Amino acid sequence: MAKKIDKYIFSRLLVITLFVIVALVIIFIVIDFSENSEDFTDKGATFAQIFGVYYLNYIPEMVRLITPVAAFIACLYLTGQMTERLEIIALKAAGISLYRLLIPYLIFASIAAISISYLDGFVIPDANENRITFESKYLRGNDDRVDRNQIFRQESEQSIFKINYFNPDDSIGHRVEVTNFKGDSISKTLYIQKIIWQHKSKSWKLENIEEKQFTRTGYKTTHIDSVDTTLNILPRDLARKTSDVYQLTYPEAESYIASIERSGAGNVDLPKIQLYGRYAYPFSIIVVMIVGFALASVKRSGGKGFYIAAGLAVSFLYLVMMKVIEPFGGKGEIDPLLAAALPHLIFLVLGVGILLNSRK
């Protein structure tokens, strides 16, 4: 009998979750389109581009964001329905404990979490890149670049670059000052009028260079028209955006953060909290499943109204806690890994606590 109950619960959770996801995605698209349709048309976006590029590439991200909420609603609805029909009491009378009844919920939540994690790590980044590119062209009015002017990067332990301006559209830096050290002393400085990233050779072309080589008695100035060279600095290190991490797969994001740390750039905690948040987010599906089951598995006064109110309250508090703690991790006041994991751990403890205090 237990296996039949497991299959029933799993299948019902799957159907309800998919239904809620589809419904919420449609509602979101309708609302978003109504708010942004004028901006789309004013900037020349066609109907095919809006729905074939923007919303088509937005759907994977929407599914990632919505899935925990959809799974939570499915859990509350199904479990509340079984409670109201006294099915859970009957199952407990037949010798099936609440802990045993929770197993198909956890299996469903684990499969959903693994699926969302894989999508987020290897499928959604490409879609996000296409969507964000579309937004920057047709929708977004603000610039989300982290670095704009006066960019400092440490190319090596003995070399510091100061780029007065970098244009990310053509990967060209202007008025670049380079200071090379030998021990505690400056050994050489370079003033470079322009540095150009060459995509084919993956190297930099330096143009119009004034080099000063320092000696004990003074310095020697040399002019160089142009030279090709490789540097431990890439265009992405000079044109960072707050959305960069969401456009990269997990391995690419790890490499991106390592590159930022190597180059000596600031604001490293921001991409870290974003990446760790992506790692932790699928785990929220398991957390809300435990919380939802613990709340709805015991008949409470208020019936469906209680489940709806509890669901809204938990979802709101969960989201608020993530949004409140995240900036502290982004600014380095809290370890980014702890900031990403803390909301999920708190609600996991809350859900387990409610479950332990429920009548078995």
Residue 162 near residue 149 (C-beta atoms within 8 A): no
pLDDT reported for residue 195: 95
The structure tokens listed for 350 are 């809350």
For 313-336, b/e burial (b = at least 16 CB within 10 A) is ebbeebeeebeebbebbbebebbb
pLDDT reported for residue 258: 86
pLDDT reported for residue 131: 93
pLDDT tens over the chain, length 360 residues:
678 899 999 999 999 999 999 999 999 999 999 999 888 888 888 999 999 999 999 999 999 999 999 999 999 999 999 988 888 888 888 888 889 999 999 999 999 999 999 999 999 999 999 999 898 888 865 556 777 678 888 888 889 999 999 988 889 999 999 999 988 888 999 999 999 999 999 999 999 999 999 988 888 999 999 999 998 888 888 888 888 899 999 999 998 888 888 777 767 898 999 999 999 999 999 999 999 999 898 887 777 777 778 777 888 899 889 989 988 888 888 999 999 999 999 999 999 998 888 765
Helices 56-84 and 2-42 cross at an angle (nearest 10°) of: 140
Q: How far apart are CA 102 and CA 179, in angstroms?
A: 63
Torsion of CA 127, 130, 135, 136, to 10 degrees: 140
Residue 66 near residue 18 (C-beta atoms within 8 A): no
Residue 221 near residue 211 (C-beta atoms within 8 A): yes
pLDDT reported for residue 219: 87
Q: Which residues pair with 167 in a beta bridge?
A: 172
pLDDT reported for residue 75: 94
Map tokens 């309708």 to a residue. 30
Residue 225 near residue 208 (C-beta atoms within 8 A): yes
pLDDT reported for residue 143: 59
pLDDT reported for residue 106: 97
Q: How far apart are CA 295 and CA 352, in angstroms?
A: 11
For 99-114, b/e burial (b = at least 16 CB within 10 A) is eebbebbeebbeebbe
Q: How far apart are CA 45 and CA 132, in angstroms?
A: 14
Q: Give the global pTM.
A: 0.84
Best CA proximity match to 120, nearest among 245, 273, 272, 286: 245
Three-state DSSP state, 98: helix
The structure tokens listed for 129 are 């890149």
Q: Dump the DSSP string for 57-96.
A: HHHHHHHHHHHHHHHHHHHHHHHHHHHHTTHHHHHHHTT-
Three-state DSSP state, 105: helix
Q: Domain coordinates of the chain in residue numbers?
A: 2-140+273-356, 149-237
Beta-carbon contacts of 122 under 8 Å, excluding residues fewer than 6 positions away, are: 249, 250
**Residue 118: count of CB within 10 angstroms of its CB:** 13
pLDDT reported for residue 140: 65
Residue 293 near residue 307 (C-beta atoms within 8 A): no
Q: How far apart are CA 318 and CA 7, in angstroms?
A: 29
**Residue 195: count of CB within 10 angstroms of its CB:** 25
Q: How far apart are CA 58 and CA 64, in angstroms?
A: 10
Sign of the four-CA dihedral 133, 136, 139, 142? positive
